Amino acid sequence: MKFDRNTIIGFVLLAGLFIAYFTIINKDQASYSKTKKAQEDSIARVKDSLTKINKPKDDSLKKVNDSVTMVANAGAFFAATDSTEKLVSVENSLIKVTFSTHGGQVKKVELKKYKGLDSNWVRMAGTEYDKLSYRINTGKISEETANLDFTKIDSSSNNGNKTISFTLTPNDSSGQYIVHEYTIRPDDYMIDFNVKMNGIDHLLQQGAMVINWQYAAPQQESDISYEKQNTQVGYVKDGEFDYHTIGRKKSKSFEESVDWVGVRQRFFFGALTAKDKFTSGDMNWEIPDDSARMIVKATANMKLTVKPGAPSVIPFNLFYGPSEYHILKKYDKKYEKLINLGQGIYSFVRPINKYLIMPIFDFFKGFAGGMGLAIALLTIFIRLLTSPLLYKSYLSGAKMRVLRPELAQLKEKLGADQQAYSMEQMKLFREAGVNPLGGCLPALLQIPIFFALFSLFSSDIALRGAGFLWSGDLAAYDAPIKFGFSIPLLGSHISLFNVTATLTSFLISVYSMSMTPDQSNPMLKYMPYIFPIFLLFFFNSLPSALTWYYTVSNLITLGLQFVIQTYIIDHDKILAKMAENRKKPKSKSKWQERLEQMQEQQKKLKEMQQKGKR
């Protein structure tokens, strides 16, 4: 292809025009971008200034937007979104309940007989999180009752029962209304809560109510970690009680009928009960950080079918009060099962608490004049009750002590042959009529009592705030000595009652070792002295009621050991009886025969191994 001079000039000019065009465009774009960025920076600075200057206006604008949305959602109930909150209080000798017209619900409950960490009445259901609400149809859309104002308030009193009701009505002539009616009886923590509805076919979707109960349990005790460990979620489904410790599970779904759902935070209990039973639902909970000073936040969404009527009445109960066994039991709703008198692997001690220790402890509380003295009297009673077993234990120890010289001779004779020594030792025990386990079995039988008391002292609200000696609260650890820093396993304090329990346990170990044969196994020899050291670490954060009990129990043990060994047990008679037993023909049990056969086989095997080495 040939190009003439004019064609070449044309291409050059065209290329020049393209280059000039793109150069101009790029300059314009750069200039535009620079100008735009300057404008954006300027706008940002203005916005920032306006944000700092007019932040309240922005908040107000947000509130206006929220109000507009709420009015839209309220539909026929739009007038119930523009009222000032009114608070009304009703009280009896035990509680003071404050209600709010916003949602026609409980605003807070104060327990008159119990003081919180701030020395005021314990407050329940009083946080921003707490809510009792359900969704209703307001026209083409729906809204939560917690966002609507129950502006009409009525109150009455009958035979000491105080009733207050909050009414919500739409702005039309439909005749619909909702009434939240609360009744408080004298000397009672239970609140009767009735929801009365007219026009249920319009207000509820297919006659089903899904009630949303949010409950926050604020910290009530000084030791928040121990309070969380002793906080549980409970319920009764299909007539059977069940529970979950809050740290082990986070939610629970219900496909069966449910009587009630509740939260027990060691000493206080909140519950929502449906008298006609919930048909299904779910419950979930979260554990906030300790810094929030909140034990748990629980949310229950429970469904129930509303019976038709004009008006329809949906009956509930609300309980906010102490988790005290006798108070909860009187309602006959299995509330009291949530109190830890022995749960999980320790459930075997619940009958011991329920039928033995609790009645006796309640009896001593009635006249002892203080919880510390009541615990001491309970300890004495328990030790008297177990004294026959203890006597056998001490008698066995005395017999072992009498045999110590003969056992020492055997050890010297057999030297390092531990197997032969064990066989001769068993033979000597059999001849003397001594049961080497005689001192262990009674101690094992006392373990259930200890676990029973551990459960009781961790859950008995009567101990809360009860002072004794240097302990200001027997339900918590006593901490007269604080380090200002934390030691692993021990913490940042030392419990003085724990120290006394540890020292008395150590004295018992020293005394017991003086009565038992010398141990060739170093581990067995020093174990009685190591155990009290473990107590010092493991008991340091336990309630001082428990360490006080342990101290008293140990002092009684030391006293009994001294008296029995010194004044009751006749060592000469024991020796004479042992000599008599040796003369009698001995019959071996099958277990003894098998044990001796095994020992003999082991001895022969050992001899063969030694010969093989030679």
DSSP 118-181: TSSEEEES-SSS-EEEEEEE-SSSEEEGGGSB--EEEEEEETTEEEEEEEE--SSSS--EEEEE
Q: In the structure, what pLDDT confidence band is assigned to residue 586 with cuts at 50, 70 and 90?
A: low
pTM for the model stands at: 0.76
Q: Taking the CA atoms of the chain, what radius of gyration do you get in angstroms? A: 39
- Highest mean pLDDT, choosing among 290-299, 412-421, 482-491, 577-586: 290-299
How far apart are alpha carbons 500 and 506 in whole angstroms? 10
Q: In this prediction, what percent of the chain has a pLDDT beyond 90?
A: 38
Top mean-pLDDT range of 5-19, 337-351, 396-410: 337-351
Q: Express each pLDDT in 218-272 by its tens digit.
A: 999 988 989 999 999 999 999 899 999 998 888 999 999 999 999 999 999 999 9
Q: Do the Cβ atoms of 211 and 282 come closer than 8 Å?
A: no
Where in the chain are all domains bearing CATH 2.70.98.90?
83-339
Q: Which two tokens stand for residue 530?
A: 């190591």
Assess whether pLDDT exceeds 70 at residue 559: yes
What is the model's pLDDT at position 46? Answer: 46
CATH number for the region 83-339 comes to 2.70.98.90
User: Would you tell me how many other CB atoms lie within 10 Å of the CB of residue 286?
Assistant: 12
Give long-range contacts, CB 8 A cutoff, 24+ apart: 580-588: 581/431, 581/432, 581/433, 582/431, 582/432, 586/430, 586/431, 588/430
Average pLDDT over residues 475-489: 82
Whole-number pLDDT of residue 90: 94
Residue 17 pLDDT level (bands cut at 50, 70, 90): very low
Q: List Cα–Cα distances, 549 to 501, 540, 572, in angstroms.
A: 9, 14, 36
Non-local (6+) Cβ contacts of 426 within 8 A are 592, 595, 596
d(CA 219, CA 231): 11
Give the model confidence (pLDDT) of 96-120 as tens digits: 999 999 999 999 999 999 999 888 9
Task: For residues 430-434, give the mean pLDDT.
Answer: 67
Alpha carbon separation from 419 to 301, 345, 437, 592, 605 (Å, rounded) = 67, 38, 19, 15, 12
Supply 60's token pair: 């107000």
Residues 85-94 have pLDDT tens digits of 899 999 999 9
Contact call for residues 131 and 146 (beta carbons, < 8 A): yes
Q: Which position has the higher pLDDT, 553 or 395?
A: 553
- pLDDT band at residue 154 using 50, 70 and 90 as cut-offs: very high
* Token pair of 252 as six digits: 């629970």
> What tokens were used for 25?
């465009």
Query: Could you give the CA distance from residue 161 to residue 213 in angstroms, rounded to a whole number?
Result: 25
| pLDDT tens column, 293-333 | 999 999 999 999 888 777 889 999 999 999 999 999 999 99
- pLDDT, tens only, 155-175: 999 988 999 999 998 877 678
At residue 196, the pLDDT reads 93
Residue 150, token pair as written in the block? 């129950």
CA angle in degrees (0–180, nearest 5) for 125-129-131 = 65
Residues 23-47: pLDDT tens digits? 544 454 444 445 445 445 544 554 5
Within 10 angstroms of residue 427's Cβ, the number of other Cβ atoms is 14
Q: So what's the pLDDT on residue 440? A: 62
Higher pLDDT, 197 or 432: 197
Mean pLDDT of 404-422: 71
pLDDT for residue 14: 46
- Cβ 162 vs Cβ 90: under 8 Å: yes
**How many C-beta atoms lie closer than 10 Å to residue 35's C-beta?**
10
Mean pLDDT (whole number) for 441-450: 73
Q: How far is it between the farthest Cα atoms of the chain?
A: 145
Report, as an integer, the average pLDDT of 451-479: 90
Which pLDDT band, with edges at 50, 70 and 90, does 11 fall under? very low
pLDDT band at residue 334 using 50, 70 and 90 as cut-offs: very high
Phi-psi region of 190 (alpha: psi -120 to 50; beta: other; left: phi over 0): beta
Spatial distance between the Cα atoms of 114 and 121, rounded to a whole number of angstroms? 6
Q: Report the chain's terminal Cα–Cα distance, integer Å.
A: 112
